[in-house]
Chain A
Amino acid sequence: MYNLLIKNGTVLTEEGHLEPLDILINQGKITEIAPDLSSEGYYTVDATDKIVIPGLIDMHCEICEPGYEHRENLVTASQSAARGGFTSITCNPNTLPAIDNKTVVEYIKAKSVTDAVTHLFPYGCLTKGCENKELTEYGEMQLSGAVALSDGDVPIQDNSLVRKIFRYVSMLDMPIIMHCEDTSISNNSGIHEGYTSTRLGLKGFPVVAETMHLVRNILLSKEYHIHLHIAHVSTKESVDLIRIAKAQGVQITAETSPRYFILEETMADHYNTFAKVSPPIRTKEDIEGIIAGLKDGTIDVISSDHKPNTIDSKQLEFQVASFGFSSFETAFKLAYTHLVSTHQLSLKELVQKMSINPAQILGIHKGQIKAGYDADLVIIDPNDTHSINPNDFLSKAKYSLYEGIEVDVNITNTIIDGKNYDYDL
């Protein structure tokens, strides 16, 4: 444990104000927040001209361990996440073996203590092996430390099975996280069905493949009073449906990631496999819809959607290339640049979506700069304009669709349990 003093920073307070305050950390906990605290006996971090915000919490990422360590492992994933400002990460359960029983949950929790620099909160599978066939031991996994249930990016097609899962889970206070995709019409495609897919002669993933499953999941959530969390919302139609569901009192929360409010489908031009993601990058109208949803609170969370893979799996024909790309180290910077700098969200609202809301949804005691809370903090420099360079990533996947894109904020320090990671490169 560490004793640390963050001096001269501007702190984003619980009330959402930016105030010049010092933060005293003792034994990994925040003990005092006040102006001009004495630094005697404390290791000091000077945060002059910088802003201190709560550590970010990522609700949608793949750490790939166990089973796919050649893509990413706990060490590289957590270091990459910390570099991106995340002090807590979750873990999609589609590992090998999948996180579908309490033993694997306990293994991941235990291994994270030794290997990970961030906190790690695993999700338990909705079905054994994410194979969409048999129920898993939800209660056992919850007792072992799983904070939510999900099959990651594997959507369950069998409506009857989903209904049984919702019925069963209704006895547990636990969110179900759903990737919405009707695979019978999504063509296993990483490109939006529309203008660009037609130009390139590629099968597309239509909007309705996402919304069909969304409607099904909303109806079941309503019937069984389950907290439903929708992963990576990509379409305007989905935002509209979630808005209506919330107005009707359905216990639903939703998340998106920067690619869905920054990029357009044309990124896939020239068969750019870095733009192959699921759900796909959509249109200008969808971007507007997503931003509207972020502004009015329909979308509660911004996640990284970190899905690393080997470069070899991307350097293939579009149809067989892998989905996703490394995103831990770009998510906050991009969200800040495209939402806060453009005055579409305040810094407080962004922190709400990347820290406070994820903590509430997952039921973890984090996301606040407050005495008694874990000292999970991020120091950002809002005056550091630079371009994204994937070669600098700590992730094993050193490629990004955002290579060369300018961002106007940097993360200089990530403090986890009071331990300072200095990233001011």
Chain B
Amino acid sequence: MLFNRKHFLDLKSLSCDEIYYILNSAQKMKCTLASKKYNTTPFLKGKTVATLFYEEHSRSKLSFELAAQNLSAKVIHLTTSKEFTRGESLKDLGRSVDQMGADFIVIRHPMSGGPHYLTKYVQASIINAGDGRNENPSQSLVDLLSVYEQKNHFEGLKVAIIGDIMHNRVARSNIWGLTKLGAKVAIAGPPTLLPSKIGNFVEVHNTITEAIIDADVIMTLKIQSERQEANLLPSINEYMRLFKLDNNRLKYAKDDVIVMHPGPINRGIEISSEVIDGDKSVINMQQMNGVAVRMALFHLLSKGGLNYDV
């Protein structure tokens, strides 16, 4: 029994074995998907998945819904923004969904720890689809799967993460996951966009070139113009000059480096078009892996961790 959890909340608390188990399961799910043999598989037949997203227009939500449907689950979706502004508490809203018979609640919540909090009050399995600025663990597994497929291992890899670590919860999940799996993580970005004490966990560099020297993997992150408005950045132009990944800077990394970006991308700002469309980029593949990872998660949680061969 390698995965014996009721909820999927974060990468911080997962063991290496659990992470590998999910990744291997996701690879098998991907094979199922790629074979196009079945439109659906029956693993979640009779189960109900509720999505509770406090942020609209999310590709992750589509990915979760598709994954659930591929496993034959019923999917219900709750529009939460109105409920939230009306002042209904997460506890009460979550309990209502639970009472409706949801077996899984996939939640994206604006506050760090929101999904963790909900686990105290519901019977359903909670899947964290992003909480505040804390973690987005399923999206991180998508990144980890991409790295695993390209490199076959994590031990000893150097992974550089560039940009707004503070507000990017996928990057933060990646830091917990990658360091746990034995990769060395180096980060670079404006100090105003790096979390306090992050140096306790990863290497911190002032320049992108220092961070990406001999890197096996480079992850660039989206920079939002709101950061400039909040005075966390002097200008987007300056960010481009200092931190944009282009072919010139890519030379500092290893020859077989892969470049990733969680999307959506500001072409030409955090990463140049030539890199996005270049032969080192695995950005498009990352999107493909999303559904497979989420199918694996649903399946493993529904089986309560039995070592079930998918």
- A201→B112 CA distance, assembly (Å): 6
* Interface residue A198 (Cβ < 8 Å from any Cβ of B): yes
Q: Which residues of A contact B12 (CB under 8 A)?
A: 199
Is A318 within 8 A of B196, CB to CB?
Answer: no
Stretch at the interface among A11-19, A23-31, A167-175, A189-197: A189-197
Q: Which residues of A contact B135 (CB under 8 A)?
A: 201
Among residues of B, the one whose C-beta sits closest to the C-beta of A318 is: B113
* Interface residue B114 (Cβ < 8 Å from any Cβ of A): yes
Is A319 within 8 A of B196, CB to CB?
Answer: no
- A194→B113 CA distance, assembly (Å): 17
- Contact partner of A316 (CB less than 8 A), chosen from B89, B133, B172, is B89
Q: Which residues of B contact A195 (CB under 8 A)?
A: 197, 200
Residue of B109, B133, B196, B198 with highest tally of chain A CB at under 10 A:
B196
- A271→B134 CA distance, assembly (Å): 11
Is B200 within 8 A of A318, CB to CB?
Answer: no
Is A319 within 8 A of B111, CB to CB?
Answer: yes
Is B116 within 8 A of A320, CB to CB?
Answer: no
Is B113 within 8 A of A317, CB to CB?
Answer: yes
Among residues of A, the one whose C-beta sits closest to the C-beta of B90 is: A317
Is B196 within 8 A of A201, CB to CB?
Answer: no
A230 to chain B, nearest CB (A): 24
B249 to chain A, nearest CB (A): 27
**A-contact bits for B103-141, CB 8 A (1 contact / 0 none):** 000000101111011000000000000011111000000
- Contact partner of B134 (CB less than 8 A), chosen from A193, A201, A316, A320, is A201
B199 to chain A, nearest CB (A): 10
* Interface residue B261 (Cβ < 8 Å from any Cβ of A): no
- A111→B52 CA distance, assembly (Å): 49
Q: Which residues of B contact A204 (CB under 8 A)?
A: 196
B45 to chain A, nearest CB (A): 34
Q: Which residues of B contact A319 (CB under 8 A)?
A: 111-113, 132
Known: A201-B133, A201-B135, A202-B132. A320 touches B197 (CB 8 A): no
* Interface residue B195 (Cβ < 8 Å from any Cβ of A): yes
Q: Which residues of B contact A193 (CB under 8 A)?
A: 196-197
Is A200 within 8 A of B198, CB to CB?
Answer: no
Q: Which residues of A contact B112 (CB under 8 A)?
A: 200-202, 271, 317-319
Q: Which residues of B contact A206 (CB under 8 A)?
A: 196
**B-contact bits for A177-209, CB 8 A (1 contact / 0 none):** 000000000000000011101111111101000
A304 to chain B, nearest CB (A): 28
A344 to chain B, nearest CB (A): 28
- A354→B100 CA distance, assembly (Å): 54
Is A271 within 8 A of B113, CB to CB?
Answer: yes
* Interface residue B169 (Cβ < 8 Å from any Cβ of A): yes
Is B172 within 8 A of A317, CB to CB?
Answer: no
Is A318 within 8 A of B111, CB to CB?
Answer: yes
Known: A315-B91, A316-B89, A319-B132. A202 touches B113 (CB 8 A): yes
Is B116 within 8 A of A270, CB to CB?
Answer: yes
- A201→B109 CA distance, assembly (Å): 13
Is A201 within 8 A of B197, CB to CB?
Answer: no
- Contact partner of B117 (CB less than 8 A), chosen from A201, A202, A271, is A271
Among residues of A, the one whose C-beta sits closest to the C-beta of B133 is: A201
Among residues of A, the one whose C-beta sits closest to the C-beta of B109 is: A317
Among residues of B, the one whose C-beta sits closest to the C-beta of A316 is: B89
- A76→B224 CA distance, assembly (Å): 51
Among residues of A, the one whose C-beta sits closest to the C-beta of B196 is: A193
- A320→B111 CA distance, assembly (Å): 9
Q: Which residues of A contact B197 (CB under 8 A)?
A: 193-195, 197-198
A409 to chain B, nearest CB (A): 34
Q: Which residues of B contact A197 (CB under 8 A)?
A: 195-197
Among residues of B, the one whose C-beta sits closest to the C-beta of A272 is: B113
Is A271 within 8 A of B116, CB to CB?
Answer: yes
Q: Which residues of A contact B133 (CB under 8 A)?
A: 201-203
> What are the 7 A-B residue pairs with the smallest beta carbon separation, nearest first?
A201-B134, A271-B113, A201-B112, A319-B111, A317-B111, A198-B195, A193-B196
Of the A-B pairs whose beta carbons lie under 8 Å apart in the complex, a sample of 27, sorted by A's number, is A193-B196, A194-B197, A195-B197, A197-B196, A197-B197, A198-B195, A198-B197, A198-B201, A201-B131, A201-B135, A201-B172, A202-B113, A202-B134, A203-B133, A204-B196, A206-B196, A270-B116, A271-B113, A271-B116, A271-B117, A316-B117, A317-B109, A317-B111, A317-B112, A317-B117, A318-B112, A319-B132
Q: What residues make up the interface of B, taking CB atoms closer than 8 Å to A?
A: 12, 89-91, 109, 111-114, 116-117, 131-135, 169, 172, 195-198, 200-201
